[in-house]
Each structure stands twice: as structure tokens, then as C-alpha cells.
Amino acid sequence: MSTPDRGDPMFAILTDTTRCTGCETCVHACQRTYNLPPDRAWRWKQKIDDLSSSRFTTIIRRPGSKFVRQQCRHCLQPACASACIVGALRKTELGPVIYDEKRCMGCRYCMMACPYGIPRYSWEAKVPLVRKCILCYDRLKAGGQPACTEACPYGATIFGRRDALLAEARRRFAAEPGKYFTPPGRSGPEIYGEHEVGGTCVLYISDIDLSFLGWRPNLGDEPLPALTWAALSKVPPVIFGVAAAMSGVYWIIGRRMKLQAEAAQRAAGGPGATGH
């Protein structure tokens, strides 16, 4: 799975929690790749190993020595990008949902819209930014694979074409009947992310129910951007609120650009001043 056919535009990650030992080699590979600072017990973090501005992926520990890698799902129709009124988040042709910090105005609508509660904010930075996994977009463009999948010593999280990974998941189901979790009322095991919220580029198979990863137990298969805008269109005060917020967008962007320029100047004359 590490050298997929570059002719297929959509890449993905398949995480098989039954193979994960919780070693966090993937977490540390990500932190090294993005020069993320050591984990700190920020008071707003639920715990030190929660997702954060210094941890784009993490390992959730569940009873029975079960380990579940957490990261952005790179939704096929991302609610975060839909909610961002300045286009700072965007779905790329290869699969990653990436972030342009120069456009971000810091409204954090993306954090509220994400059905998996993924994006974090670097509150501790002088110029705070939204931080999340970007599926190693630059590495993918260069013909490589994500640092985390490359690093995993157990093949618990692998990279490839999305369709090939779906086929690999089904192959594992067939090879070991009864091993993987089948939701009540379903005829076969679940590939989390195959259809959920319209489909995602980060897929999971597991021997435990992973529905706890969403904001609500059953997120459904309908893309959330459609729901978001359908709901908004029925609530005129919200629309007016958004319109009012947009009137301040240019002022906020201008202010952020000024702060970034000041931070860059400080960095040029001394220790780095950008956030993490």
C-alpha cells in the first residue's frame, strides 16, 4: 500500500485498530515532520495526549487495551471547509483537506462545524492558528506517503488509494470472519468512513464500536455541508449574523496580516515568534 498508483487522484489512510499497540511511533513521526513542540499540559486540554496544536494525531486508549488513532478524517465533503467563510480550508484533488493560515481570520467556525471535533487552535501563540492533520499534502504531492503511516512498525495504519484500501478492509473481513465489529442490524462489519458523513479519506476497521469518535453516536451518511447550509437557509437570523460577521472580515484579516508581519520581524531579529 505504500506505493500506490499515482494515476488515481484520491489517497487515503486505513487504520486497523486491532493491529495498533499504542506505541505512538506515528504521533512522534508527525511531531518531528512538522517541528511540533513537546506536549504540554495546557489548562484547556482535556489531557496531555488529546489532539492539540502540538499533536495532530494521537492515540485514544479504550478499555481492554484497545488503541484508536485519532486524526482529521479528510472528509470527501468537509464541513470545516464549508463553514469557513474566507476559504482557509479546502479539499484538494489528492484527498487532503488543507489549511491556508494567511486566509484564516480566526473565527473558528471550522472547529464548531467538524463532526469529529478535530481542529485545534494555538491559543498559546502570539498569532493563533487553526492546527490539524493535513494528510502530509506536500509529501503526497512529491510522490511519498504520510510520515505517520511510513513510521508505523506494525502496519496498523497504512496509506494507499482509497478504493484499494476499501478492498483491503474487505479482504481482512473475509480472512477473519467475526473478528471485526458489526453494528446491530447490519449484515457485515463496518468500514468507518466508507459512507459516514458522505465518506472520508481516513478509514477505520476495528473490533470495537468506534461511533464514540463522532460528536453524536450515529453521524449518518449524508454530507454535513449540505445539512449545514440547508439548516442555515431556514434560519434567517443566522444568515444575517453571518453577513454581519463578514462585514468585519476584511478588518480582521488586515489585523492578522499586521500581527504576522510584526511576528516575522521579531523572528528575524531574535528567537522564533510564530505559534505552534
Which 124-153 residues touch ligand SF4, going by CB under 6 A? 132-136, 146-148, 152
Considering only residues 61 through 90, tell me which ones interact with ligand SF4, judged by CB under 6 A: 67, 69, 71-75, 78-80
Q: Are 99 and 245 in contact (CB under 8 A)?
A: no
Residue 159 dihedral angles phi and psi, to the nearest 5°: -115, 150
**Residue corresponding to grid cell 484547556:** 44
According to the binding rule CB under 6 A, does residue 193 interact with ligand SF4?
Answer: no
Q: How far is the CB of 58 from ligand SF4 (least distance, A)?
A: 9
Binding mask 194-233 for ligand SF4 (x = CB under 6 A): ----------------------------------------
Shortest spacing between CB 233 and ligand SF4, in angstroms? 20
Query: Interface with ligand SF4 includes 166 (CB under 6 A)?
Result: no
Does residue number 22 form part of the binding site for ligand SF4 (CB under 6 A)? yes
Report the C-alpha gap between 42 and 159 in whole angstroms: 32
Q: Does residue 165 bind ligand SF4 (CB under 6 A)?
A: no
Query: How many helices (H) and strands (E) in the chain?
Result: 9, 9
* Beta-sheet strands, E only, within the chain: 11-16, 58-62, 66-70, 89-91, 97-99, 120-121, 130-131, 157-161, 202-205
CA distances from 275 to 33, 54, 80, 258 (A): 16, 10, 21, 15
Instruction: Return the residue of 14, 20, 127, 158 that touches ligand SF4, per CB under 6 A.
Output: 20
Asked if 26 interacts with ligand SF4 (CB under 6 A), we say yes
- Alpha-carbon distance of 160 to 49, in angstroms, equals 27
Residues engaged in binding ligand SF4 (CB under 6 A): 20-26, 29-30, 33, 56-57, 59, 67, 69, 71-75, 78-80, 97, 114, 116, 118-119, 132-136, 146-148, 152, 154, 156-157
